[in-house]
A and B are shown apart, each in its own frame.
Chain A
Amino acid sequence: MGNPLGRYLLTLRRLWGTALAMQLEYQANLLLEVVAAIANLIGSLLLLSLFYGGGRALGGWSWPQALVVLGVYTLLEGITSTWLRPNLSTIVGHVQQGTLDFVLLKPIDSQFWLSTTRLSLMGLPEIATGLGLMIWAAAKAGIRTTPWLLCQTLLMLLASGLLLYSLWFLVATTSIWFVKTWNAIEVLRAALSAGRYPISAYPAAVRTLFTMVLPVAFLTTVPAEAMLGRLTLPWLLLSLMVACLGLALSRAFWQFALRFYTSASS
């Protein structure tokens, strides 16, 4: 009861228990999601294989190496439907119905609350196929897992997940001003679909765009490089920095939006 961390952890456990109960309440059709995940995987593999006919390679990545990237992408898609979409879409609803007031009156960080309340089982099949593909493809690429490699990969996956979260949260925050901007999330998703392929598969100008402006490179290519054991230390540090920067930015932007909300709402 005393320490705040314990309180946040307990809240989280309760929230997720509640979220799961909610899923069971509507009996989400998980079977359908399994089918969708498999169909998606087959489609992605087919599409990728089109670039590999006749001994060609994609941006200097071998077939199994590119599969690791695809695995990371699939994993992130799964995380999106399990965590990001269910939570961040509620911000729009809160703003529309005025129930954001209740969130702001709880003695708990509002960003934490809005980012963790929901949890959906929908993305689990994709998380599973993504992880499976990553592990299988890395083995196929002849990677021997060492603890150091594993740590590195997990760290980069964490950084990529946080970066993805920051991007989503930034877009979701804009709905404090314009409810309609929630659709911008679909634009973001379409743009992030570039992460299916290693960044070196793109022309130089696009590559710069996807590294500097929209950090797609840090979402999938960097974690895949880590898993393949060829990530250099500067890139590792850069990736961590980008993730922290994204997180800080999302936090600052939320505080700014909130200041606007609390001084302007009626």
Chain B
Amino acid sequence: MRSSAKGSRADGSPRVRPLRPLQHGFRVARALLASQYALMLEFRAEVLLWALAGLVPFVMLAVWIESPAGAALGMGPTQLARYFLAAFVVRQFTVAWVMVVFEEDALQGRLSPMLLQPLHPFWRYLASHVAEQAIRLPFVALIAALFFLVLPWAFWLPTPQRALLALAATILAFLLNFLIQCSMACLCFWSDRVNALERLIFIPMLFLSGMAAPLEAFPPALRRLAEWTPFPLLVHFPAQLLAGGEMNIAAGFTALAVWIAGLLLLVTLLWRAGVKRYGAMGA
């Protein structure tokens, strides 16, 4: 990812007017976001349906509220309702779908022209994710409002600190998920059946991220195991921040930072090797 920011300098062509990197980056970002937002606006019906497809936390909430297991956990109905709503919201803004799009771009032959541009393709995908989230925002707000209409007793406002921390954690969680997807998308250079991986990665995402059950409910050994994976950071950590649960905040952010740094390195290496291979095959 980092190499891409330098892409415009590394292409070797003489510059007409030297732009400061920051200024240049800002311009590119604005243009990308504007175009991707316009594009995503065309797909708003799909975005709404995708948002609705994330309703698993609500189904799970229904089971947890009815079961005595919730009470045994020390989470009353209010706390459970807040947790699962927070999990739904966080999940909405951490979804990434780089792999599917990248694979299609590669198959349809759109990759080669993208490689010729002095902009890393992943920036484009990042912009379209951000644009999609902007479209999602009103839908998610509407669903949350409906939720409080049905369960008014669950209503809460997080403290300003918690809200800010949750926002930061959600953004980082999204970046983490985005990078996980990017690293797998890079495998497209080696295999044409990468979409099968999408299915595999969805399984731990469902069971270990906290979407289906708060991690506090896991047996201790399983919870420790889950916390060695990045999945709880994607939903459980930001959701608990938002819902006001007890959290080791510093540890969570440290883990996010470490995972993001590691994946950034991995994606850079994989991308370089992949592009080299792509070039060697003369595609």
B200 x A190 contact (CB < 8 A): no
Residues of A within 8 A of B (CB): 29, 32-33, 35-36, 39-40, 43-44, 46-47, 50-54, 56, 58-59, 178, 180-181, 183-184, 186-187, 189-191, 193-194, 197, 201-203, 206
One of A180, A193, A194, A206 near B46 (C-beta < 8 A): A180
Q: Complex: how many Å from CA A259 to CA B204?
A: 45
Report B-chain residues with C-beta under 8 Å of the C-beta of A32: 196, 199-200
B49 x A190 contact (CB < 8 A): no
- B191 and chain A: residue at smallest CB distance: A29
- B71 and chain A: residue at smallest CB distance: A56
15 contacts between A and B (CB under 8 A): A43-B203, A47-B207, A47-B212, A56-B68, A56-B69, A56-B72, A183-B49, A186-B49, A186-B50, A187-B52, A190-B52, A190-B53, A201-B66, A203-B62, A206-B62
Report B-chain residues with C-beta under 8 Å of the C-beta of A52: 69
Report A-chain residues with C-beta under 8 Å of the C-beta of B45: 178, 180-181, 183
One of B67, B72, B193, B217 near A58 (C-beta < 8 A): B67
- The secondary structure that dominates the A interface is helix
Q: Give 8 A-B pairs besides A32-B196, A32-B199, A47-B213 with Cβ atoms closer than 8 angstroms.
A: A35-B200, A43-B207, A56-B68, A183-B45, A183-B49, A186-B53, A187-B52, A190-B52
Taking the nearest CB of chain B, how far is it from the CB of A196, in angstroms?
A: 9
Q: Complex: how many Å from CA A54 to CA B70?
A: 12
B36-69 CB mask vs A (1 if < 8 Å, else 0) is 0000000101100110111110010011011111
Interface size class of B (residues with CB under 8 A): 20 to 34
A201 x B50 contact (CB < 8 A): no
Q: Does B269 contact A (CB under 8 A)?
A: no
Taking the nearest CB of chain B, how far is it from the CB of A95, in angstroms?
A: 16
Give the 3 A-B CB pairs with smallest separation, nearest first.
Answer: A43-B207, A186-B53, A183-B49
Report A-chain residues with C-beta under 8 Å of the C-beta of B52: 187, 190
- A186 and chain B: residue at smallest CB distance: B53
Report A-chain residues with C-beta under 8 Å of the C-beta of B56: 190, 193
Contact A51:B69 (CB < 8 A) given known A186-B49, A193-B56: yes
A51 x B63 contact (CB < 8 A): yes
Q: Does B97 contact A (CB under 8 A)?
A: no
Kindly name the residue among B67, B217, B218 whose own CB sees the greatest number of chain A CB atoms within 10 A: B67
Report B-chain residues with C-beta under 8 Å of the C-beta of A43: 203-204, 206-207
Q: Complex: how many Å from CA A44 to CA B56?
A: 14
Q: Complex: how many Å from CA A264 to CA B72?
A: 59
B60-86 CB mask vs A (1 if < 8 Å, else 0) is 001101111100100000000000000
Report B-chain residues with C-beta under 8 Å of the C-beta of A190: 52-56, 59
A46 x B55 contact (CB < 8 A): no
Contact A39:B200 (CB < 8 A) given known A47-B207, A201-B67: yes
- B197 and chain A: residue at smallest CB distance: A32
Q: Does B222 contact A (CB under 8 A)?
A: yes
A187 x B213 contact (CB < 8 A): no
Q: Complex: how many Å from CA A48 to CA B99?
A: 30
